Each structure stands twice: as structure tokens, then as C-alpha cells.
Amino acid sequence: MGECGPEYSSLPVGGDSVASLPSALRPTPNKLSIIPLVFLIFYEVSGGPFGIEDSVGAAGPLLAIAGFLILPLIWSVPEALITAELGTMFPENGGYVVWVASALGPYWGFQQGWMKWLSGVIDNALYPVLFLDYLKSAVPALAGGLPRTAAVLGLTAVLTLLNYRGLTVVGWVAICLGVFSVLPFLVMGLVSLPKLRPARWLVVDLHSVDWNLYLNTLFWNLNYWDSISTLSGEVDNPGKTLPKALLYAVIFVVVGYLYPLLAGTGAVPLDRDQWSDGYFADIAKLLGGAWLMWWVQAAAALSNMGMFVAEMSSDSYQLLGMAERGMIPAVFAWRSRHGTPLVGILFSASGVLLLSSMSFQEIIAAENFLYCFGMMLEFIAFVLHRVRRPDAPRPYRVPLGTAGCVAMLVPPTALIVVVLALSTLKVALVSLGAVAVGLVLEPGLRFVEKKGWLKFEVNSDLPDINVTRAPVVATDEPLVAP
């Protein structure tokens, strides 16, 4: 059960076999172990309770607490289980793109990659916004204008450099940032104990619930479990490491939300208008004083740095995986001397800068809309793999039959329908326009490949995933790496 299947066990992992690969396709020498992987998942999904304040503002304490108890069961756990099974079945950097391509064909695999990459970049554009929102109370100049723009540019440049230096650096940075970001909430929970009033947790007014903001906030804070799949090719023994890391991360994330939420809503009199981005810093000041407020603000800033580098790693390695499958130009498979996907990192950073002027609510609504479409394709691929390839090697298998897996997917599918239905017309039109771009971009890239205007290569060392691509005759160089 722990080892990768025979299709992947022959892939080169070190020694002379690595040297025989083209330099752009050589794997990184340092693989991710379980502890850095847990913290990378933590930052892909959560990064701490920063950003959950809107759930209280939108729906009150009871629904906010209930949401972070119930939604993990109907959304996060199924998504993590699917990621564990398919991520170990296809332990390569294409991640969910490969899952969908193998089940539905390369066209839909590309659509999955386009929607997921775009939603990831939109998500990453949020972290400079949150970073500055937490600091603007201490540094008012960061609220807008040239200082805010300069701060976004500088922060993006520094964090992009961290990604360039390699996943080992990113992983250990994630551990240090994670510990620092969680500690002030542990302290805040302890100092809140004398002031806790459990009756405050039960406050609810169903007539004044902003369901759109409430569900989008919950959904945004509890998704992206599948993002780690695009780093599967960089994980040490993914068949054992990935499922364990996902389990530990689910527990870490849920506790990391509920603990400060219970402390903040139970110890401070409710004022829903105050519960918005950055309010945990104000709660910390009320409960512990200015020193705790500064600690929470510093933790928020560093947490957003952690989420940025984790998301950019996922986005850039996804592009590398798509390039190694010949879906996008081979230039995206180039690795730097640190083993990182240089072009993918720069491409993703450019997207972040273009989108960083959007507001918090616009960002989460747009990314959730695109993410929902991608998840529907993942659900379909998961079921099709169970039906068509029941005996394929699966180092980890969800402990349910095919019918049980379908039943497991009913609640999250219903949630997706609700999130889409509650989207505003503006968000729906913009998101559907982005989807339409992907529908024409894939045949456009195939045309470019046919004309030989850009080089596309398939890494022949990757195993067959039952995807057939029409042969393209090149005038100069073969499309498949020797």
C-alpha cells in the first residue's frame, strides 16, 4: 500500500538516470518530507484564521461555528480523500490536470489546468491585500495610493524569489511561519477563558444572514486541498507521505479555525459590523492588550506570506506538469539551477500583479466560481477512474466502493450548485468569460504546435495515462524527449 504503482516506480529519482534526462526535465534533488508537506497543505488551504471574520459578520456566531464544523465533513474530507487516492495514483506534477486528462481526454485536462491555474492566481492576488489590510491600522499609509502599490510590488518580488530558491526552502519557511502564526491565537484563547460566555456562541438571526458572503467565506477557507497534488512529483514516497500529510492537515486546519472563533465570539460582546478582515487583531487588543494585537498583526502578515509562497509553488509546478505532458509550450518545463519551474513562477507572479487591485470579496467570489467548475471535473474523473480502471495501482484507496464514492460526492456537488447559484451576475459573467477563453485557448495552442511556432514536448519518462494526442510533424526537432 505505501509504494507508487509499477507505472511510476521506474521513473528516475537519482544517480545516473537523472543525468540522462534533458536538463529542463530533471527532477529536483531534494524531496519534500511529511512535516514540510503538512505545512504546505496548511498554507494552500488555510494559513490560520485570517479571513474567517466575515463569516461572523455575515451570519453571526452560531452559523459561523456550525459552518466550520459541518463544512469540513461534507467538503474538505471528500476533497482530501480524492486527492489522496488520485494524487498517489498519478504522483506527478500535473496533479489534477493529469487526473482529468486520463479520464476525459487532453482537451478537458487542459480546461482543468486553465481554470485551476487561474483560480489559484486569483487566490494568490488576495494575500497582498490581506497582508496590507492587517497592517494598515498600524501603518495608515498602506491603506491606498502609491505606498500600497509599492508594497504590493515589493512583497510579490520577495516572495517570488523564495519560490525560485526551491521547495525545500519554501517548505521550511512554511513551518517557521506556521508556528509563528498559530502561537498568538493559542495565547489569545488562554487569556479569553475568564471572559468566555458560552451563550454568545448561540446567537443567530436567520433574517439578517448574507448567505452569499457567508458561503463564499466558508468555501474559500476550506478548499484547495487538491492543490498539493501538483507537487506530487516533488514528494518523498508520495504513496505513504501524501495521505498522512492530508490527514494531519485536515485536523490542523479545522482546529485552527474553531479555536480562535470560539475564543473571539465567546469572550467579546457581539458587534457583527466589526467582524470583517483584520478584526482578530482588535479582539486580541481587547483581550490581551496592544502587545497581543501586534503579535496577531505580525502573524497575519507572515501567514499571508506563507500562503503566497505555497500557492505560487502549486501554480508554477502545475504549469511544469502540463508542459511535461505537452499541453503547453515546453518552455514552462524549464527548471532553474535550484530545480524550480522558472517560467511558471514568473508567469504566475505576473498574473498576481495584474489582479492584486481587486477587492477581497470580488477575489473570493471569482476564484470560488472558477474553482467550482474545476472540482466538478475532478469529481467526474474520480468516479470514471473507479469504473474504468478498478484494478489500477492505487497506493491509497478511499475505503468505499464505487457507489459509496458517488454518495460521498453528493453533498459537495450540492454545495457547488448553491455557491454558483448565489454568485452575483458580475462575477458569473467575468468567470464564464474566463472559462470561454480556455475553451478556445486549447485548440489555439494545438494550432501553434502544428505550425511549429512554439516547441511542445512530452516527457517520455512519464508513464502512459491513456491519453492519445494527434501526432504533429516537426520540421526541426522531435516533440518527444529522447
Q: What is the pLDDT of residues 34-69, one digit of tens each?
A: 999 999 999 999 989 988 999 999 999 999 999 999
pLDDT for res 10: 39
- Of the two residues 146 and 274, the one the predictor is more confident about is 274
Confidence band of 467 (pLDDT split at 50, 70, 90): low
Q: Which amino acid, one-letter code, is at 242?
A: L
In a domain, 22, yes or no: no
pLDDT for res 360: 61
> Poorest-confidence range of 79-88, 128-137, 246-255, 309-318?
128-137
pLDDT for res 167: 75
Give helix 77-89 / helix 96-104 axis angle, nearest 10°. 70
- Of the two residues 6 and 439, the one the predictor is more confident about is 439
pLDDT for res 15: 34
In a domain, 2, yes or no: no
Confidence band of 466 (pLDDT split at 50, 70, 90): low
In a domain, 479, yes or no: no
Rounded to 10 degrees, what is the CA torsion of 45, 50, 56, 58?
-70
Question: For residue 391, what are the CA distances in angstroms to 385, 388, 451?
Answer: 10, 9, 40
pLDDT for res 477: 39
pLDDT for res 21: 39
Structure confidence by residue, pLDDT tens digits, 221-267: 998 999 999 999 889 899 999 999 999 999 999 999 999 999 999 99
Confidence band of 142 (pLDDT split at 50, 70, 90): confident
In a domain, 434, yes or no: yes
- Of the two residues 232 and 145, the one the predictor is more confident about is 232
In a domain, 23, yes or no: no
> Poorest-confidence range of 93-97, 119-123, 224-228, 473-477?
473-477
In a domain, 469, yes or no: no
Residue 473 exposed, middle or buried by CB count within 10 Å (0-12, 13-18, 19+): exposed
The count of domains in the chain is: 1
pLDDT for res 153: 85
Q: What is the mean pLDDT of residues 76-94?
A: 95
pLDDT for res 187: 96
- Of the two residues 94 and 471, the one the predictor is more confident about is 94
Residue 312: pLDDT over 70: yes
Task: Kindly report the CATH number assigned to the domain that includes residue 133.
Answer: 1.20.1740.10
The maximal CA–CA distance of the chain, rounded, in angstroms, is 76
Q: Which of 415, 428, 438, 37 has its CA nearest to residue 225?
A: 37
The residue segments making up the domain with residue 90 are 32-451
In a domain, 82, yes or no: yes
pLDDT for res 9: 45
- Of the two residues 12 and 272, the one the predictor is more confident about is 272
In a domain, 3, yes or no: no
Q: What is the mean pLDDT of residues 113-141?
A: 80
Q: Average pLDDT over the chain, rounded to whole?
A: 86
